[in-house]
Amino acid sequence: MKKIIFVKIPFLFLSLLAFKVEPVIDSELKSGCVDCHFVYQAEFLPKQSWIKLLNKYELANHFGKKVELSKSLREKFLAYYLENASDSKNTKYRRKINNSLSKNKIYSRISKVPYIKSKHEDLDKEMFIDNPKVKSYSNCKACHKAEKGIFEEDEVDVPNWNKSFFFGWSME
Amino acid sequence: MKLLLAFILTFSFLYSNDNDSYVDYEKWHEYSSYITLGLIGATILSTENRGIHETFGTLAGVSMVGTSALGIYAHSEDVFDLSEGWQKIHWHSLISSIATIALVSTLIEAPEEQHQILGMIGGISAVISFSIVKW
């Protein structure tokens, strides 16, 4: 009996809040944004948002920076984002994003998507803005295995912070 | 029924947020689970005073039903999705279903002696179900 309990228990603690997206594997796409950030997966925003973000006038002032992409690369990005946007396919994780979006609004930031925002808003700001290894909500890969598309709650690892069963997150 | 309605309305007022009227039922489910566990604890601790024990016990039962309903609503896509195999969420929902049935049965059986055993089963399985998520 004891043996069964010890074997079974580890299988209980897999992930609850699962959130996985397809990682970007195209090397040209992956290298396109790498100077400032990893390539955000298309699933996080709807088509309208990606069209706006990849507009050449918008890229001239991309969150305060000028982004220079060749026409072919910009078109390749647009094709990837339009094909995989949150409203392009009817999958479980896309629905979670899509159902939270306001229909009359074009979202420019993933961190402003209500579903994503809601999952982070209760956490201490010191974990993000004041954390020298995170600094920004847009720095997904600081805490998530973002490049692999893994955003599951159990896989979160906030730099300089520990999570315990009884006390939640605390600074190291 | 009125209690359940009051419970839901209170939550909708407290936790409706500014996210373009988006309501995160996953969070509601989480917060209501804290309340439920608190009420179960209060029920266990108030066995000496029948009136208080009955009040907390009834609230715990109603709260547990509300929490389960919210959980099913918020996580329905995950709970009924076995495409990635049997996962933590499935253990959580299975055990919390046992807890809900046991706690409701406890209310029905009370004040008979048997209700204590059902109450214990309900309380313990609720704690296990919660622990699976929080581990």
pLDDT over 90 (residue A88)? yes
| Structure-block tokens of residue B23 | 């309501």
User: Rounded CA gap, B123 and B44, in Å?
Assistant: 9
Is residue B79 assigned to a domain? yes
All residues of chain B having their beta carbon less than 8 Å from the beta carbon of residue A49 are none
Tens digits of residue pLDDT in B93-119: 999 999 999 999 999 988 888 899 999
Asked if A161 and A134 count as a contact pair (C-beta separation under 8 A), the reply is no
Question: Residues of B with CB below 8 A from A95's CB?
Answer: 77
On whether residue B54 sits in a domain, the answer given is yes
Lowest-confidence pick of A19-33, A41-55, B38-52: A19-33
Cα B3 from Cα B11, distance rounded (Å):
12
Contact call for A118 and B88, based on CB within 8 A? no
SS3 (DSSP) at B92: helix
| DSSP run (H or E) holding A147 | none
Structure tokens belonging to residue A82: 């339009």
Instruction: List the single best residue of A11, A13, A16 to mutate versus B (max B Cβ within 10 A).
Output: A16
| CB contact A160 to B (< 8 Å) | no
> Going along chain A, which residue ranges are E strands?
161-164, 168-171
> B17 to chain A: which residues are within 8 Å by CB?
118, 121
| Residue A87 distance to chain B (closest CA, Å) | 17
Phi-psi map region of B95: left, alpha, beta (phi>0 left; psi -120 to 50 alpha): alpha
Could B24 and A16 be called an inter-chain contact, meaning their C-beta atoms sit closer than 8 Å? no
Closest-CA distance of chain B to residue A65, Å:
27
Which residue in the set B24, B77, B84 is minimally distant from A118, CB to CB? B24
Contact, A37 vs A137, CB < 8 A? no
Between chains, do A14 and B87 touch, taking CB under 8 Å as contact? yes
Domain that holds residue B69: 23-134
Would residue B71 count as lying in a domain? Answer: yes
pLDDT at B121 over 80: yes
Q: List alpha helices for chain A, DSSP H.
A: 2-12, 27-32, 47-53, 56-59, 71-84, 92-100, 114-120
More confident residue, A34 or A72: A72
Confirm if A68 and A54 have CB atoms less than 8 A apart. Answer: no
pLDDT > 90 in chain A, percent: 48
Do the Cβ atoms of A102 and B21 come within 8 Å? yes
What count of Cα atoms within 13 Å lies in the side-chain half-sphere of residue A23? 13
CA-to-CA dists, residue B27 to A42, A115, B33, B74, angstroms: 25, 11, 10, 9
CA-to-CA separations, A140 to A118, B8, B38, in angstroms, rounded: 15, 34, 34
Compute the half-sphere exposure of residue A124: CA atoms within 13 Å on the CB side of its CA. Answer: 13
Please report residues of B whose CB lies closer than 8 A to that of A101: 20
B5 pLDDT tier (thresholds 50, 70, 90): low
Q: Does pLDDT of B17 surpass 50? A: no
**Interchain CB distance below 8 Å, A17 and B26:** yes
Hey, where are the domains in chain A?
A: 15-171
| Residues in B touching A109 (Cβ below 8 Å) | none
Residue in A with minimal Cα distance to B15: A118
Is A1 within 8 Å of chain B by CB? no
In chain B, the number of structural domains is 1
Q: Are A45 and A107 in contact (CB under 8 A)?
A: yes
Question: Is there a domain that residue B77 lies in?
Answer: yes
Instruction: With CB atoms and an 8 Å threshold, state whether B88 touches A101.
Output: no
pLDDT of amino acid A42? 94
